[in-house]
A = this chain, B = another copy of it.
Amino acid sequence: MDLSHSPRATDLRDRVRSFIETHIEPVEHDHHREIARLRNGGGDPWQPLPLMGELQTKARAEGLWNLFLPAGHEMHYAEKYGTDGGVGLSNIDYAPVAEAMGRSFLAPQVFNCNAPDTGNMEVLLRYGTDSQREEWLDPLLDGRIRSAFCMTEPDVASSDATTMELTAVADGEDIILNGRKWWSTGVGSPECEILIVMGLTAPDADRHHRHSMVLVPRNTPGVEVARMLPTMGFFDEPGGHGEVTFTDVRVPRENFISGPGQAFEIAQGRLGPGRVHHAMRVVGLAEKALELACRRGSERLAFGKPIVNLGGNRERIAQARIAINSTRLLILDAAYKLDTGGPFNALSEVAQIKVAAPRMAQEVIDFAMQMHGGAGLSDDFPLAAAWTNARALRLADGPDEVHLGMVARIELGSYGMKR
């Protein structure tokens, strides 16, 4: 169980951190303020700001681009689209890079490593046909377009993915989609040109072969963004999270990914590494929050003492350190198991980090907010947004409770228990 990163990963992490400190952090707060200004009557916050493109150009020039691309897959993509040295990273090597990116909300997109694009690109890489890849994977890797993943539905408990109701029916040479999705992240941006939509194709098939993944160009007639959804008051412009309606949407039959009825297999393959990414990013967020708490608490005085020296604050700092360290190790261990045994030998480990990382981060960030007083709840610090991010991850990709159920099922399996 070698949880250490390769020298290459250490180098990439350091370069990513340095890039963030040099190029992103100095402008990030202004960027958020500018979006706030636009939102509050000053213009259209759903248009990407030029800053993002400029930062992406710089990052790409430094070789910090598409680093999420996994080792061992179709390396000409890595070569063609500038991934460092043309070779993808293992999960254990990408982990510290993802943590570094997690310290900034802008960073993942600057490096073309943001959800849901990374997951969508992986799906196309693993399951796409050549023509699907040419049409959509190339421009995504190139950063020319963005994408959305349309899975969750408002009218069913999406924690049970077999209940999805949007229909994706084969009709001659076409697929016709009808239904409603929400929490489609990224769909708010005009750069979002392609949607991967999960739909019900074969209601009478067994539970895990009823649904399909379908490529739906954003501008297909019948695709409407009904509204953008706030998360705890945050709209996360310009990508945002949309509610999308599909009314008699017609796409060619070759837009099935990996054929009809394959949605579950694809989702399973998509989510494992994605959860490592998410988990490491929130570890980065938690580290950032703890750092802010230590700084604020050391500098600010109350009752004649630095705030860190009041009440139980030092104990909470120590607890945060313990929680961050042990959670990071848990994620690295899951990454190691994914790398060495593949997703089906890491089901429990991946479920464990899905639960552990956001909860840990939420608590650490809550403490950091408390150390900042009212400022912690405002947008003067990235803490309120960070908390919201961690909180949303307790529901994204299925609520924690579903993943705890998976961990328990595997644990009890060794004692002969069935569900």
A interface with B by C-beta (< 8 Å): 1-4, 36, 39-41, 44, 152, 154, 156-160, 163, 182-183, 229-235, 290, 294-295, 298, 300-303, 306-308, 310-319, 321-322, 325-327, 329-330, 332-333, 348-349, 351-352, 355-356, 369-370, 373-379, 384-385, 387-388, 391-392, 394-396, 399-401, 403-409, 411-412, 414-417
Contacts and interface: CB of A to CB of B under 8 A. Distances in A.
Nearest to A231: B377
Given A302-B160, A321-B352, A405-B318, A232 B330 contact: no
A235 B325 CA distance: 35
Contacts of A294: 411-412, 414-415, 417
A334 to B, nearest CB: 9
A356 B326 contact: yes
Contacts of A300: 156-157
Given A317-B411, A322-B352, 7 more contacts: A1-B3, A36-B230, A230-B233, A230-B379, A231-B233, A311-B404, A370-B399
A374 B183 contact: yes
Copies of this chain per assembly: 4
A378 B230 contact: yes
A298 B375 contact: no
A3 B329 CA distance: 10
Contact of A326 (B329, B399, B409): B329
Contacts of A231: 233, 377-378, 384
B308 A412 contact: yes
Smallest CB-CB A-B distances: 4 pairs:
A233-B233, A312-B312, A157-B302, A329-B329
B318 A404 contact: yes
A39 to B, nearest CB: 7
Contacts of A369: 391
B399 A373 contact: yes
A105 to B, nearest CB: 13
A376 B399 CA distance: 12
Nearest to A320: B411
B319 A404 contact: yes
Nearest to A360: B326
Given A388-B232, A404-B315, A416-B298, A395 B411 contact: no
Nearest to A408: B314
